[in-house]
Amino acid sequence: MLAVAALLGVFALLLAWPVPVVLSRAAWPSQSPAVALALWQAIALGGGLSMIGCLLVFGSSPAGSLLAATGALLPHLFIGPIPPEFGVVHLAALTLAAGLAAHLALNLALTAVRAERERRRQHQLIALLGDPLPGEPRTRVLAHSLPLAYCVPGIRTATVLTEGLIEALGELELRAVIAHERAHLDQLHHLVLLAFRAWHSALPWFPIANRAERSVALLAEMLADDEARHAAGDDALRRAMLQVGSGGEPGAYADSGGVVPDIEMLEARLARLGGPVRRPPRALRLAVVSAAVLIVALPIAALLVSLGGIS
């Protein structure tokens, strides 16, 4: 049990600092944003499982297994006495594990509720203030001079454009913008971004949470850009980005309080345009996918082994 707890602890530390730092500085994610996005999700899930699992396994070690510890402690939780083999440090670890798990789950739930409330408010506003764009279903136009475009996800989805944007862009650039926003909706980027927003909200003092949220937001933009490139071409997308991106286009995470794109993110997106689409070697992509699976599987396997105990 102690060996498993130590393994999970080391794994949690690796996923909490060096691994995300290396990934955020790597060049290949911009060439394969979907694979990189999957890896970020695996790091977040694997790191959380490892952190909580380390505390659970260590706290349960006097009983020899998680199930045995549950059986030994639950009957005495309110009426006492606590079995003497469980020291203060073991009880503190179990309490911290339960508190951390509850804190993360509660923040995720509250973030989701706030996002849903904001989405409903935005749908009501655009239904009241916006007009349908002829020939484009689920697209509304707001009477505003600032060139902006964003999407509102949910059961009902909407792509929102301003009159200022329509006046500033040509037909091909407008097609690129609409394709970009619909890619956010079709690929459900708001759900991924919401999870990382909740992680950052739950652990605001954790520097990697902010780094992860920004990296995931940028990858979501790149994935949407790839759809726009396919629909309208690189040149049209570049011209549209210079109009919309410089205005702070909120994208799929506007309704969840997430990261707002800045000049640095816009420059990273523009740097991908103008040349052939480059993909990292297949061997690298397979290695990254395998690593993502391993990152999630290892803490789950360790916890399953600890359920029955090990010698």
pLDDT of the chain along its 311 residues, tens only?
899 999 999 999 999 999 999 999 999 999 999 999 999 999 999 999 999 999 999 999 999 999 999 999 988 877 878 999 999 999 999 999 999 999 999 999 999 999 999 999 999 999 999 999 999 999 999 999 989 999 999 888 999 999 999 999 999 999 999 999 999 999 999 999 999 999 989 988 887 888 899 999 999 999 999 999 999 999 999 999 988 865 444 444 444 445 556 788 899 999 999 877 778 899 999 999 999 999 999 999 999 999 986 54
Residue 92 has, within 13 A of its CA and on its CB side, a CA count of: 3
**CA separation for the pair 65, 162 (Å, rounded):** 60
Residues 257 and 137 in one domain: yes
Q: Between 171-186 and 207-232, two packed helices, what is the crossing angle to 10 degrees?
A: 130
Domain assignment present for 187: yes
Query: Is residue 65 located within the same domain as residue 13?
Result: yes
Residue holding tokens 């619909």? 182
How far, in Å, CA of 181 to CA of 136, rounded? 13
61 and 129 fall within a common domain: no
Q: Please state, in angstroms and rounded to a whole number, the distance separating the CA atoms of residues 41 and 34.
A: 11
Q: How far apart are CA 108 and CA 110, in angstroms?
A: 6
Largest Cα span, the chain: 76
Residue 101 lies in a domain: no
- 231 within some domain: yes
Instruction: Kindly state whether residue 104 falls inside one of the protein's structural domains.
Output: no
Q: Could you tell me if 242 and 302 lie in one domain?
A: no
The phi and psi torsions of 287 (rounded to 5 degrees) equal: -65, -40
Q: Is 96 inside any structural domain?
A: no
CA distances from 147 to 143, 166, 242, 246 (A): 10, 8, 10, 9
* Residues 289 and 272 placed together within one structural domain of the fold: no
Residues 257, 117 share a domain: yes
Q: Is residue 51 located within the same domain as residue 132?
A: no
Answer whether residue 95 is part of any domain: no
Which one-letter amino acid corresponds to residue 181? E
The Cα 238–Cα 269 span in angstroms is: 9
> Per residue in 101-128, is it b (16+ CB within 10 Å) or e — as a string?
beebeebbeebbebbbeebeebbeebee
Overall domain count for the chain: 2
pTM greater than 0.85 (yes/no): yes
Range of the domain at 251: 110-279
Q: What single-letter DSSP state applies at residue 26?
A: -
116 and 178 co-located in one domain? yes
Instruction: Clarify whether residues 251 and 293 are in a common domain.
Output: no
Q: How far is CA 310 from CA 57, 64, 66, 262, in A?
A: 11, 7, 11, 51
- DSSP-H helix ranges across the chain: 2-16, 18-25, 33-60, 66-73, 88-129, 163-168, 171-186, 189-202, 207-232, 234-244, 263-270, 282-308
Decide if 102 is inside a domain.
no
123 and 252, same domain (yes or no): yes
Q: Are residues 230 and 268 in the same domain?
A: yes
Q: Is residue 78 part of a domain?
A: yes
Whether residue 4 is found in the same domain as residue 59: yes
User: What amino acid is encoded at 185 in this protein?
Assistant: L
